[in-house]
Amino acid sequence: MAAPLAIDSARAAISEAIGRAAARDARVLASATVEVEPIDPAGAVLASRLASDRWFCWEYPDDGGFALAALGSAHEVVSRGDGRFADVGADCAALLRDAVRDEPRDLPPGAGPVWTGGFAFDSEGGREPQWSSLPPALMVLPEVSVLRDRGRCFITASVVVEGDGDRALAAIDPRLAGFRDAQPPPLDPAPTARTEISSPQPPGRYEELVATARERIASGAIEKAVLAREIRVAASSAHDPAPVFGALRELFPSCFCFCVGTPEATFIGASPELLIRRRGAVAATVALAGSARRSADPSVDDHLGQQLLVSDKDRSEHEIVVRRIERALRRHSVWVQAEERPALVKVANIQHLATPVRAQLADSRSAVELAGELHPTPAVGGEPREPALALIAETEGLDRGWYAGPVGWMDAAEDGEFCVALRSALLRDRVAHLYAGAGIVAASEPAAELAETEIKFDALLPFLAS
């Protein structure tokens, strides 16, 4: 169990907030936040979750050890269609507008009542049964959330009160009582059970898709299209996300490591790509496109990175993404500034061209709304957007679901961050669905693009296959 004094303090605070909310005789959100001794947010949530729970883990270890984890569902906002980002943003704000909140002053972003979740790549979401518990747009206000940032840690309890304060307290009490500190279990270093790896489409089919996209580009219809593929890992028993998440955050400390859990499935990944971070009037993102493999030999690794930096093909692909992001942010900003030249972002098994972009917002736009303005970037869709998306729908033959969609969080101040859900997998019972894609431009070679997807699969495949 987490420190008893911390839980007692959280219970007392939420009890007070519930009492004040119940006096209003209306549906009111009541939340309470207390600062506690640092714990492992993901470990606590993974150890405390029930089979019937929605839950969420988010870590960016290199950013001051930032970690946010959430358990249970006090309220859910669901939407679909072209207006889903605006709908979700408005509904999230409406619930928090008249909330009763008991919390310290000057909470860091992510502390206090917080929305967690994400959005499918397509506005209508996944069509295949494995995506059934992850709708096109879903943001959850958890019953309990834990934030750790730069040595400080906060626990927040939230409940929606509809007149009966005693019933609301009775609902949150077991959640707090069952919350315990723990670490994710380690991966089995010598698994004995065999797994089976398969692909819904043969690799040669992907090379044909790349050739088709090149023909469309040569005709002048599009500049770039991102095509993805899927592989599946079938195990002898259900895949456990807890040790996989623990391994991802250790191996990919410079990535956004995430888990979105439901009673039926878990969407998990370690994405190198920030879609949007909002802090007050400042928005930040990173254009990420153009990839090369890593090498264990430092001199070879540096050489591969330098080749990437001077590659006309990769620089062209990257510049398409930078231009689109600048245009999207400029509509809502006083100024937008992108670095003049891309830098290298190196993660465990791959390196990318990356250009940071910052903007001073001219009007109030929530993190969710900004995510909707940017999604999908040409790094996961294409350019121009509509013809590229039409090509994907026509040729890819893949239900992306939440793959390449925005996943992240937004707090009560509407600050937050969303990554692009890359290097990801959907775990559903014994089957893991892994996804990877590559950006196709005029100079793309089918065999090279296929090889790039294989490198990207290597982010999760070793943890799921034995």
> By residue range, what is the domain housing residue 359?
196-464
Is 305 in the same domain as 435? yes
Question: In 292-430, which residue ranges form alpha helices assigned H by DSSP?
Answer: 298-310, 312-330, 367-374, 385-395
Q: Please check the confidence at residue 340 and state whether its pLDDT lies above 80.
A: yes
Question: In 190-297, which residue ranges form alpha helices assigned H by DSSP?
Answer: 203-218, 241-251
pLDDT band at 1 (very low <50, low <70, confident <90, very high): very low
What per-residue confidence (pLDDT) applies to 17?
A: 83
Is 202 in the same domain as 160? no
Bridge partner residues of 182 (DSSP) = none
Angle at 267 between CA 32 and CA 247, to 5 degrees: 90
Each residue's pLDDT tens digit, 202-250: 999 999 999 999 999 999 989 999 999 999 999 999 999 999 999 999 9
Within-domain flag for 460: yes
CB 119 within 8 A of CB 371: yes
Each residue's pLDDT tens digit, 146-168: 999 999 999 999 999 888 888 88
Is 148 in the same domain as 218? no
Each residue's pLDDT tens digit, 352-387: 999 999 999 998 899 999 999 999 999 999 999 999
Final residue belonging to a domain, choices 150, 177, 204: 177
Is 212 in the same domain as 319? yes
Token code pair at residue 236: 């002898």
Each residue's pLDDT tens digit, 48-71: 999 999 999 999 988 888 999 999
Within-domain flag for 343: yes
Within-domain flag for 96: yes
Is 313 in the same domain as 170? no
What per-residue confidence (pLDDT) applies to 198?
A: 94
Is 53 in the same domain as 157? yes
Each residue's pLDDT tens digit, 413-439: 999 999 999 999 999 999 999 999 999
Within-domain flag for 254: yes
Is 323 in the same domain as 395? yes
Final residue belonging to a domain, choices 149, 177, 205: 177
Per the structure, the count of domains in the chain is: 2
Within-domain flag for 188: no
For the residues 97-111, what does the mean pLDDT come to? 91
Active site residue 250: no
Within-domain flag for 455: yes
Marked catalytic residue, from 59, 143, 223, 224:
224
Is 60 in the same domain as 122? yes
Within-domain flag for 186: no
CB 339 within 8 A of CB 355: yes
Active site residue 313: no
What per-residue confidence (pLDDT) applies to 6?
A: 67
Token code pair at residue 107: 């909470």
Each residue's pLDDT tens digit, 298-315: 999 999 999 999 999 999
What is the share, in percent, of the chain residues with pLDDT greater than 70? 98
DSSP letter assigned to residue 40: -
Within-domain flag for 187: no
pTM to 2 decimals?
A: 0.95
- The CATH number given to whatever domain includes residue 437 is 3.60.120.10
Is 292 in the same domain as 248? yes
For the residues 88-115, what does the mean pLDDT come to? 93
Marked catalytic residue, from 273, 396, 414, 417:
273
Is 345 in the same domain as 446? yes
Is 154 in the same domain as 208? no
**Which is more confidently placed, 460 or 171?**
460
pLDDT band at 188 (very low <50, low <70, confident <90, very high): confident
Is 207 in the same domain as 170? no
Q: Provide the mean pLDDT of the chain.
A: 93
